[in-house]
Copies of this chain bind each other. A is one copy, B any other.
């Protein structure tokens, strides 16, 4: 037995009381509802996996930032920092899945990182992916899900989806003789966090000549709506088949997003890279329009990863909004749900002698799906009233002997204060009306 009983929770971990959780559940329900509307289906994955699963994709570096350890059976294991490698395994092992495979999940993830605003050690993420479909329609549907989430959460005016295509960007860079994509893209990925000078210096460090660095700066400064940027891209994109294809795909994507009625949510931004090396085409990140928060989420197309992870060649596109930055933005915009508990009905028994009748009424309403509480503590009228107020009961049913003699109870509306007598036999009807 340990003596010190004042054991705090770990830094970067959270617990949620009912009010906080109710707000979060509303947000999660919205994320779930959007998934379902578009025919995404829920899956669940293990929270602990063999460490090697993450080494394949991310290498030692990412594993350094995880909760990894040797289990009691001597296996190196990792608390999942992301879900993609597990999903890749599932796709690989279930060859008869109907394609396109459209999956979502609500999962917890863990990263051993220094905590800061919007970055925690334990966080929730919804992962949405379409596997087995390479078309621009799939890209558009993933982006439609992202846009619909913003709408559903009342964030469509407070956040932009910034879009790029890595293949197209690489094509543009290569016309200037820039081919060390890996290093250059990594610098571009950090552009947001640097001054112009720092950015240019870093590019030169990565192996570029100064004039090429300036070209990269100019290209990656290209930002605007589809209609603003596409004409400029027309001049920039080289004639190579791959680059032209990527460009045409972006034009097609524009057309689809217009069909979805969501084109105004998008900004083309050639500095969007997505840190992870495995994206192969369209990439996007969602930022608050004021630009003072980290990205809400990001995603894109990653057609090679499943094969890299040992599966068959399987195109894929997906994204994963997390709860931490979402909460910051929603609170800033005043659209985070009320952190208040709700109760439909409190059944107040005026005296101990009518407890049985009170319980019976409570049960009848519960059977109709209502959320009903009743006294557990033998409290008097006033204290039960206090409790009913604290749990934000919408209606109060007062059960007293005198009313019961006439087969009635008193129903009080807690907002208006109005009271009326209701026949015992009419109670269900009264509450369903």
Which one of B130, B141, B363, B375 lies within 8 Å of A260 (CB-CB)? B363
In the assembled complex, the Cα of A90 lies from the Cα of B19 at a distance in Å of: 14
Which one of B22, B94, B261, B359 lies within 8 Å of A17 (CB-CB)? B94
| A 1-22 to B, binary, CB cutoff 8 A, 1 in contact else 0 | 1101111111001111110011
Q: How large is the interface on A (under 10, 10 to 19, 20 to 34, 35 or more residues)?
A: 35 or more
Chain B residue, CB-CB nearest to A99: B377
CB distance from A71 to the nearest CB of B (A): 6
Indicate if A331 sits at the interface (CB-CB under 8 A): no
Q: Are B38 and A366 closer than 8 Å at their CB atoms?
A: yes
Which one of B45, B56, B133 lies within 8 Å of A376 (CB-CB)? B133
Chain B residue, CB-CB nearest to A72: B112
In the assembled complex, the Cα of A21 lies from the Cα of B21 at a distance in Å of: 23
Indicate if A103 sits at the interface (CB-CB under 8 A): yes
CB distance from A84 to the nearest CB of B (A): 13
Which one of B39, B52, B64, B103 lies within 8 Å of A343 (CB-CB)? B39
A44 surroundings in chain B (CB, below 8 A) = 14-16, 21, 24
| CB neighbors of B among A107-134 (8 A) | 108, 110, 112, 122, 130, 133
CB distance from A85 to the nearest CB of B (A): 8
Q: Are B43 and A15 closer than 8 Å at their CB atoms?
A: yes
CB distance from A90 to the nearest CB of B (A): 6
Indicate if A100 sits at the interface (CB-CB under 8 A): yes
CB distance from A363 to the nearest CB of B (A): 6
Given A1-B59, A18-B41; A376-B137 close (CB under 8 Å): yes
In the assembled complex, the Cα of A37 lies from the Cα of B310 at a distance in Å of: 47
CB distance from A315 to the nearest CB of B (A): 11
Chain B residue, CB-CB nearest to A343: B39
Q: Are A43 and B18 closer than 8 Å at their CB atoms?
A: yes
Q: Are A39 and B372 closer than 8 Å at their CB atoms?
A: yes
Given A7-B52, A94-B17; A38-B373 close (CB under 8 Å): yes
Chain B residue, CB-CB nearest to A309: B5
| CB neighbors of B among A45-72 (8 A) | 45-50, 52-53, 55-56, 59, 64, 67, 69-72
Which one of B7, B36, B42, B310 lies within 8 Å of A6 (CB-CB)? B310
A7 surroundings in chain B (CB, below 8 A) = 49-50, 52-53, 56, 89, 310
A33 surroundings in chain B (CB, below 8 A) = 369
Q: Are B41 and A370 closer than 8 Å at their CB atoms?
A: no
In the assembled complex, the Cα of A259 lies from the Cα of B99 at a distance in Å of: 53
Chain B residue, CB-CB nearest to A70: B69
Chain B residue, CB-CB nearest to A110: B48
Which one of B2, B22, B141 lies within 8 Å of A52 (CB-CB)? B2
Q: Are B56 and A43 closer than 8 Å at their CB atoms?
A: no
Interface centre among A4, A77, A137 (most CB of B within 10 A): A137
Q: Are B112 and A71 closer than 8 Å at their CB atoms?
A: yes
In the assembled complex, the Cα of A10 lies from the Cα of B77 at a distance in Å of: 9
A53 surroundings in chain B (CB, below 8 A) = 7
Indicate if A135 sits at the interface (CB-CB under 8 A): yes
Chain B residue, CB-CB nearest to A77: B10
CB distance from A80 to the nearest CB of B (A): 11
A22 surroundings in chain B (CB, below 8 A) = 41-42
A41 surroundings in chain B (CB, below 8 A) = 18, 21-22, 341
In the assembled complex, the Cα of A112 lies from the Cα of B71 at a distance in Å of: 8
Indicate if A334 sits at the interface (CB-CB under 8 A): no
Closest 10 CB pairs of A and B: A5-B310, A18-B41, A69-B69, A39-B373, A13-B46, A137-B376, A2-B55, A37-B366, A16-B44, A98-B390
- A10-B46, A72-B112, A148-B366 given; 11 more Cβ-contact pairs under 8 Å: A16-B44, A36-B371, A37-B370, A47-B122, A48-B110, A99-B377, A133-B376, A137-B377, A137-B378, A259-B355, A259-B359
**6 A-B residue pairs with CB within 8 Å:** A5-B310, A38-B371, A47-B110, A72-B112, A135-B376, A259-B356
